[in-house]
Copies of this chain bind each other. A is one copy, B any other.
Amino acid sequence: MNLEIFGVNGIGEVVEGDDVASLILDALPGPLQDFDVVVVTHKIVSKAEGALQAAATDEERRRIVESESTSVVRRRGDLTISITRHGFICANAGVDRSNVVPGYVVLLPRDPDASAHRIRRRLEQATGRSVGVVITDTFGRPWRRGLIDVAIGVSGLPSLVDYRGTTDTFGSTLEVTEVAAIDEIAAAADLVMGKATGTPVAVVRGLRLTGDGRATDLVRPPSEDLFR
């Protein structure tokens, strides 16, 4: 299997009310194909959905982080690791001021799975192709330095790919191997997106995945989680 991953440039600044799917279609360098996965940084989705708030001071930003959190997992200095209403655990509840008009912060989309679904439906209606959509954010991790992109919304794909019951090269049954394929797709797409440049969308071509997973499926239930 060969994968191709390319960035979609030239989308420009997104404002409330914009139709993200139309912006993507206008900017794509060529036609979409069946099974293409369109990976979208949440920031343009949030902006299109109006998920911005004025926050000129650190105190205002802190208040917004609190109101976007259902509970705080750890706090150190300016850094708050908290649980968002979606169940994601991340820094500052995903509230971020990079790539946004100075004096404002951008929040996570209210329901990123629903946002992904809407974008997918529009892309499919416009092109007649069956595609997947992944909405990403950039998360830190316990234990490992550096950030990586993960999936916070998905449509048309499985959230977890389950290899349990398949056999390895020795014919032994694999016991527990659920791969977070949409997180691997998010990470792969980030390799062409960068953090400072204007490439908020990428296409991953060559996978043959379909499903109806939700990114919130990846939230580990507190009862299974050893690290809350």
Contact = CB atoms under 8 A, between A and B. Distances in A.
A142 B226 contact: yes
Interface stretch (A50-58, A116-124, A190-198): A190-198
Given A3-B4, A170-B101, A144 B150 contact: yes
Contact of A1 (B7, B163, B183): B7
Contact of A144 (B76, B99, B183): B183
A95 interface: no
A142 B191 contact: no
Interface in A145-191: 145-150, 159-160, 163, 166-170, 172, 174-175, 177-181, 183-185, 187-188, 190-191
Nearest to A191: B184
B100 A170 contact: yes
A168 B225 contact: no
A89 interface: yes
Given A144-B180, A145-B217, A180-B148, A98 B174 contact: yes
A145 B180 contact: yes
Contact of A146 (B144, B183, B194): B183
Given A217-B145, A220-B144, A177 B195 contact: yes
Nearest to A215: B144
Nearest to A203: B2
Contacts of A102: 170, 172
A184 B179 contact: no
A105 to B, nearest CB: 12
A227 to B, nearest CB: 4
A219 interface: yes
Given A102-B170, A143-B219, A144-B218, 13 more contacts: A3-B4, A98-B172, A98-B175, A99-B168, A101-B170, A143-B227, A145-B219, A145-B220, A145-B224, A146-B160, A147-B179, A168-B196, A187-B187
Interface of A: 1-7, 13, 74, 76, 81, 88-89, 97-102, 138, 141-150, 159-160, 163, 166-170, 172, 174-175, 177-181, 183-185, 187-188, 190-192, 194-198, 204, 206-207, 217-220, 224-228
